[in-house]
Structure 1
Amino acid sequence: MKLRRKHKFAAEVATSSLNDIMFFLLLFFLIISTVANPNVIKLLLPKAAASQQLSKKQVTLSVDANKQYFIDKKPVDPANLETELKTIMAGIAEPTVVVRFDKTLTVQDLVDVLQTGAKLNIKMVMATSK
C-alpha cells in the first residue's frame, strides 16, 4: 500500500520584511543626501559655546592652513579678495559672508579679512564647530 502526501511543499521567499528594509535604506540615503554639503573645504574650525543659524543666501569665504582663499570653493588670490567680494555681492540687498577660517592661522589674518568686509559693508559671520 502506497501512501502519498496530498500537498507538495514549495520553496517560498519571505518578503514581508523586505518592505521594512527598503524603507530604512531609503530613509538613510535621504538623510545622508541632505546632510552632505558639496561646498566643503576641509578646515579645522575653532570651537564656540553658542551658535547662530543663517536663513539668507550666503557666500562662503574659506581660508585654509596654507592661507589659500576660496569663495564658494573657487580659489581667489588674496590681493584680489576685495574686488571678488564686491562683484559677487553687487546685487544682494543684505550681503552676508560666512567666514570659515582655519584655527591654526593668526588673529591678524582673520582681522584682515574682517576689515575687507567692513570696508565693503558686508556682514561677516564666523563659522565654528560645536
Structure 2
Amino acid sequence: MLKRRNKISPQFSMASMTDVIFLLLIFFMITSTVVSPNAIKVLLPQGKQQTSAKPLTRVIIDKELNYFAAFGNDKEQSVQEDQLASFLQSVADREPEMYVALYADESVPYREIVKVLNIANENQFKMVLATRPPENRK
C-alpha cells in the first residue's frame, strides 16, 4: 500500500519583513535626531523660539573670528571674509531657493554678523540666525 503525502504549499509571511522595516525606520529616525548639523563648536546666543526652516548653507563664525562655510551636508571649510560672497554666490547658482544659516558665537562682535547680513542682503539671500533653545529654569 502506498501512502499519499499531503502537499503543503509554501507560504510567505510578511510579518518578519514588516518587523525589519519598522526597526530600520526607528533606527534612522533616532540617528537623524542625534546627528549635529555642524561640527565646529560655537556657543550660540539663546533665543525664545526656534525656526523651522531647514537651511541649506551654513556660515559659522567662531570666537576667534574664523569663518567657515558649508553647503548641505558637506563638511565645513575655512573661508576668508572676502571669499564668503563668492562662495555663497556659487552655492546660489546651484540652489536658487537656498537659506543661509548664520551660526555666530555669542562673543562675536556684532559688526562681524552685520558684515555677513550685508553680503546676504546685497545678493538677496534668505538668512536664518541660529540660536540655541531656551533653557528651562525652575
1:27 offset after TM fit, Å?
Answer: 9.5
2-structure distance, mates of 1:50, 1:39: 20
The gaps in structure 2 that reach 5 residues or longer are 1-23, 71-75, 134-138
Q: For residue 44 of structure 1, what is the amino acid of its counterpart?
A: L
Structure 1 pair 92/30, CA: closer, same or farther in 2 (3 Å)?
Answer: closer
Tell me the C-alpha RMSD between the 2 structures: 2.2
1-structure distance, mates of 2:118, 2:62: 18
1:119 aligns with 2:119: no
TM-score by length of 2: 0.67
1:31 offset after TM fit, Å?
Answer: 5.7
Q: For residue 50 of structure 1, what is the amino acid of its counterpart?
A: Q
1-structure distance, mates of 2:47, 2:37: 24
Partner secondary structure for residue 75 of structure 1:
strand
1:123 offset after TM fit, Å?
Answer: 0.6
What residue in structure 2 maps to residue 47 of structure 1?
A: 46
**Identity across matched positions, percent:** 27
Q: For residue 124 of structure 2, what is the amino acid of its counterpart?
A: N
2-structure distance, mates of 1:81, 1:52: 24
Structure 1 pair 29/121, CA: closer, same or farther in 2 (3 Å)?
Answer: same
1:32 offset after TM fit, Å?
Answer: 5.2
What residue in structure 2 maps to residue 6 of structure 1?
A: none
2-structure distance, mates of 1:67, 1:111: 13
What residue in structure 2 maps to residue 92 of structure 1?
A: 95
Q: For residue 101 of structure 2, what is the amino acid of its counterpart?
A: V
1:38 offset after TM fit, Å?
Answer: 5.7
Q: Which has the larger radius of gyration?
A: 1
2-structure distance, mates of 1:50, 1:117: 22
Q: Which runs of 4+ in 1 moved over 4 A?
A: 26-32
CA deviation vs aligned residue, 1:48-83 (integer Å, no higher than 9, x gap): 11121114x611111101111111211111111111
Question: 1:64 aligned to 59, 62, 65, which one?
Answer: 62
1:91 offset after TM fit, Å?
Answer: 2.5
What residue in structure 2 maps to residue 77 of structure 1?
A: 80
